[in-house]
């Protein structure tokens, strides 16, 4: 209970968290709100009993049920250990692929099943850019799921940008230096 700011004759009453309760116990519980009460003790007690205590009791019972059913917070399972890794590369032309020398043997069947093609002149497994973006996303998602289920980790990278050539500077003209003053012509 605290004095209500800017209302000199009122107080705010709000329930507090019970001791020994962890944050995950409040999941799914509608927590009760605080209420404003007058500075008259009899009227304040009546409002607390009528408006705040029933909601607090209901929430407290729900929290206690949660502590019985789930004493420890839920934990997500750890990722499976990877034995090998495959790096897929996004190329600027929209193709997704991996150099064939870096593709584990066990991953090749999965890549073929997800419509990757072996391109001998590129020496890479590629998912052509002719597929729509949505189709590429679904095929990549399917490939990643199957590969990780086999213990093969998947990394994604963008292709290294091609180095641009520095701009060429104009070759200096032979003759007088550009900064030297030329003699004035006589009339």
pLDDT digits (tens, 9 = 90+) for 73-102: 878 887 778 889 999 999 888 899 999 999
Count of structural domains within the chain:
2
Domain with 122, as residue range(s), is: 84-158
Q: Answer for the pair 143, 110: CB distance below 8 angstroms, yes or no.
A: yes
Angle formed by the axes of helices 105-113 and 133-149, nearest 10°: 140
Same domain, 65 and 89: no
Residue 91 forms part of a structural domain: yes
Residue 41 forms part of a structural domain: yes
55, with CB counted inside 10 A (0-12, 13-18, 19+), is middle
Same domain, 54 and 118: no
Residue 184 forms part of a structural domain: no
Residue 116 forms part of a structural domain: yes
CATH of residue 149's domain is 3.30.70
Please state whether beta strands 117-119 and 152-158 pair in parallel, antiparallel, or not at all (unpaired).
unpaired
Q: Answer for the pair 78, 88: CB distance below 8 angstroms, yes or no.
A: no
Same domain, 111 and 61: no
Can you read off the two tokens belonging to residue 41? 């003790």
Sheet holding 152-158, edge to edge: 117-119, 124-127, 96-99, 84-90, 152-158
Task: With cut-offs at 50, 70 and 90, classify the pLDDT of residue 173.
Answer: low
Task: With cut-offs at 50, 70 and 90, classify the pLDDT of residue 182.
Answer: low
Global model pTM greater than 0.85: no
Tens of pLDDT, residue by residue over 18-44, are: 888 888 898 889 989 999 999 999 999
Residue 173 forms part of a structural domain: no
* Residue with token string 């003699």: 183
Nearest CA-CA partner of 116 in 138, 132, 146, 96:
96
């Amino acid at each position: 209970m605290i004095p209500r700011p800017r209302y000199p004759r009122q107080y705010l009453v709000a329930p507090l968290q019970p001791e020994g309760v962890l944050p995950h116990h409040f999941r799914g519980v509608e927590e009760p709100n605080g209420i404003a009460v007058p500075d008259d003790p009899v009227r304040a007690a009546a409002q607390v009993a009528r408006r705040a205590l029933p909601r607090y009791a209901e929430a407290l019972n729900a929290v206690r049920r949660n502590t019985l059913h789930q004493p420890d917070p839920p934990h997500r399972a750890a990722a499976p250990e990877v034995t090998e890794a495959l790096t897929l590369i996004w190329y600027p032309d929209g193709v997704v692929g991996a150099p064939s020398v870096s593709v584990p043997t066990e991953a090749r069947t999965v890549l073929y099943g997800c419509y990757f093609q072996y391109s001998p002149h590129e020496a890479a497994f590629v998912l052509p850019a002719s597929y729509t973006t949505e189709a590429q996303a679904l095929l990549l998602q399917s490939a990643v799921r199957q590969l990780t289920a086999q213990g093969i980790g998947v990394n994604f990278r963008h292709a290294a940008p091609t180095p641009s050539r520095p701009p060429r500077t104009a070759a200096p003209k032979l003759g007088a230096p550009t900064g030297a003053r030329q003699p004035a012509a006589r009339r």
